[in-house]
Structure formats: structure tokens, C-alpha cells
Amino acid sequence: MGRLGVLLLNLGGPDKLEDVRPFLYNLFADPEIIRLPSPLLQAPLAWLISTLRAKKSQENYKKIGGGSPLRRITEAQGQALRSQLQQKGHEAHIYLGMRYWHPFTEEAIAQIKRDKIEELVVLPLYPQFSISTTGSSFRLLDRIWKTDPELQKIKYTVVPSWYDNSGYLQAMANLIATQLDQVKNPSEAYVFFSAHGVPVSYIEEAGDPYQKEIEACAELIMQKLNRPNSYKLAYQSRVGPVEWLQPYTDIAIEELAAQGVKELVVVPISFVSEHIETLEEIDMEYREIAEHAGIETFARVPAPDTDPTFIQALADIVIKALNDPKKSFSETIQPQKNTKLYPQERWEWGMTQSAEVWNGRLAMLGFLILLLEIWLGRGQLIH
């Protein structure tokens, strides 16, 4: 085996408050995050949304210490993975490639080239595949690879998702069991999975397997847990006016409270590190909603971070990828058969599904321009 590298992919997060706006710009400039009819609209819309959202987002980052802990935790996961692989007989260089903030994926690739890596495993730190996360990083890597003959010499493989890995499921089940054992009535408490949402159109129009993988993952974790508790899965962190996957976490919490549920053990399911959406959104916003609705215990299961069972699972996933047939970026980002993607749509007159989607997007764009004009105090739509 040649010089081995493992490229860990993640979203990235602002290290300090000044980073928030440019981080949001990078995020919204990604067509896998906001899917628009024309690439020309992407940069102005990203500028608009990041400018309008920055203040509120900064306030949230202030509440968790002024920045995202994602980089620090991902670096610790990388180090732990390196020593776990070493114990299993594999010397590997670990690289972090973030999609929207430092260390950017491009920086990791430059280092991989400098280190003359010969064999590479690309491992997204998202257990479930979504077009908006793993898909976006794979598309970026595919573009980089296609234009660089030096990279094309590297024998690489990708792990599209690993939500069903037994060690990962065991790590999650152990973390849940520890929280359950601390509540008043361990067998009565509701296990409440909260996943990051995506717009419904990702699933229904673009064939994103995300919802299926999240649902299967929650079910598999409950099987590993092997306790009599009821469970519920809901989706958090929706952004903008389009419809996102339901049930929404805030509403689901209120509904359980109305049914008389008193104890919730909340499991962040689509994240493997603590970050703004666990530390602020779940721990502060949803906790307040739950308490207000009459929930007496709101216990949050920690994200796996550097949990030893979890890190061991990551090492097993890497070793399995080395032994399995190689998978390429383009293989995994190809849409499934019958998947409808915008550039492939044939134009038809009338209120077709595509026309409705486009109308919705144009309405959203108009609404955003109106908001900007209100904010600036001048423009074409207001006087």
C-alpha cells in the first residue's frame, strides 16, 4: 500500500463573529443549498441572504461563545481516528476539507498533493447522504479532480454514507442509554430524534436519499438500543419560505407535550459533532419551547464527537473502504434513474410541477428583493 490519506469532509463553521457573514455567503452561493433556475442569480442572492441573515446568526453564535466549535472538534476527531487506524496497523495522514469555511476542501487537496498521497479514502462526516451536504462536497471534488492530472494519479475511493454501520449505531445507542438512565422514568421517556431538515423538493424532485436514510437510521439505532421506549423523528433548522421535511421539531415537541409526554431524551441524529444547531437551537430554543409546553425533563444526548466507540467505527469504515471496490465521485453523485433535475427538464406550457416550482422561486426572489429594499430604504418596489 502507498502513502495513505483520509480526507474528512464537513460543512465548516465561522470561527469568530466577523466570519459569520462570509461563511453564510459561501453557504448560500452553493447551488446545492439553494437551487436556482439560473447560475447568474446565485451570487446576488447569496449576498442578499447572507447580509439579511448575518445579524441574527451572529447573535446565535454569540450565545455559544462567539464562534463554531466545529473545526476544533473535527480536528480532534481526525487525531483520534489517526491513532485508532495506527492501532489497527494503518499509518494514515488525516486531512479536513470543509465546504464553507477554513480549512477549505481546496486547502486540504493542496496539502494532499504536497504530501504525495498515493491512496485516499474520502469520508464525509455526515452519516446520511444528502445532495446538500455530502453531494455538494463530492461535486466540488469531482470538479477539482477533473482539471488536475496530478490528482488523477491518486487511487481514491469515497464513502457516500454510513448511517447503517454497526459501530456507529452502537455508539449512538450507548449515548442514548446513558441519558435514559439519568431521567426519572427511564422506560417511559420519549426518545426524540432531531435531524437537520432539507427542502421537500430535494427529496421529491431531485431524488435525495436523505429522508430514507435518516428514517432507517433512527429505526436501526432503536433496534440497537433495545429498550421499550417510544420514539419520534422530526426535522429542525428550516430556512426560508419553501416547505421543508416534516414534522418540524418545534411542532412535534409541542404535540408530544399535548399528548401528556413529560420526559424527552433528544438525539441530534444528522450531526456527529456539537455545533450551533445542537448547542443553540436544541439546547436553548427547543428546550424553551419544551418547558413552555409542559415537558419536565429535556435531556439532550451529546453528539458523538470523539467518543471511543464512534472513532473505532470511523476507523472500521475507512478500512472497509480500502478493501471494497473503489467508488468515484461521479458514480455517487449521478442522479438515480427517473430523477428530475432542473437542467434536464423539458419546457411545457401550463401549471406543470416545474412551472409551480419556478413561480415559487421567483416569488421568493421578489420577496427577498423587497426585504432588501425595505432594509436599504429605497428601490424599485418601495418608494
Ligand X SMILES: C=CC1=C(C)c2cc3[nH]c(cc4nc(cc5[nH]c(cc1n2)c(C)c5CCC(=O)O)C(CCC(=O)O)=C4C)c(C)c3C=C
Question: Three-state secondary structure along 351-378?
Answer: CCHHHHHHHHHHHHHHHHHHHHHHHHCC
Minimum Å gap between C-beta 344 and ligand X is 20
CA distance 287 to 349: 48
Between 285 and 291, whose beta carbon lies closer to ligand X? 285
Residue with cell 401528556: 260
**Residue 96, amino acid:** L
Minimum Å gap between C-beta 207 and ligand X is 15
Between 136 and 179, whose beta carbon lies closer to ligand X? 136
Residue 196 known to bind ligand: yes
Minimum Å gap between C-beta 383 and ligand X is 31
CA distance 197 to 368: 21
The CB density around residue 296, as the number of other CB atoms within 10 Å, is: 13
Between 200 and 372, whose beta carbon lies closer to ligand X? 200
Minimum Å gap between C-beta 281 and ligand X is 8
Minimum Å gap between C-beta 271 and ligand X is 5
Minimum Å gap between C-beta 2 and ligand X is 32
Helix, strand and coil content of the chain, in percent to the nearest 5, comes to: 50, 15, 35
CA distance 310 to 170: 8
Which chain residues interact with ligand X by CB under 6 A? 11, 13-14, 24, 27, 33, 53, 57, 68, 70, 126, 130, 132-133, 196, 198-199, 239, 270-271, 275-277
Give the residue closest to ligand X by C-beta: 13
Sign of the torsion angle spanned by Cα atoms 177, 179, 181, 185 = negative
Between 123 and 198, whose beta carbon lies closer to ligand X? 198
Half-sphere exposure (Cβ direction) of 291: Cα atoms closer than 13 Å: 9
Minimum Å gap between C-beta 306 and ligand X is 16
- Among residues 112, 80, 81, 83, which one has the least CA distance to residue 95? 112
Between 126 and 310, whose beta carbon lies closer to ligand X? 126
Angle at 331 between CA 327 and CA 337, to 5 degrees: 140
Between 27 and 140, whose beta carbon lies closer to ligand X? 27
Between 130 and 137, whose beta carbon lies closer to ligand X? 130
No. of H helices and E strands in the chain? Answer: 14, 8
CA distance 171 to 307: 7
Residue 277 known to bind ligand: yes
Query: Which H or E run contains 297?
Result: strand 297-300
DSSP annotation of 239: -
Q: Which residues are annotated as a binding site for Fe(2+)?
A: 196, 277
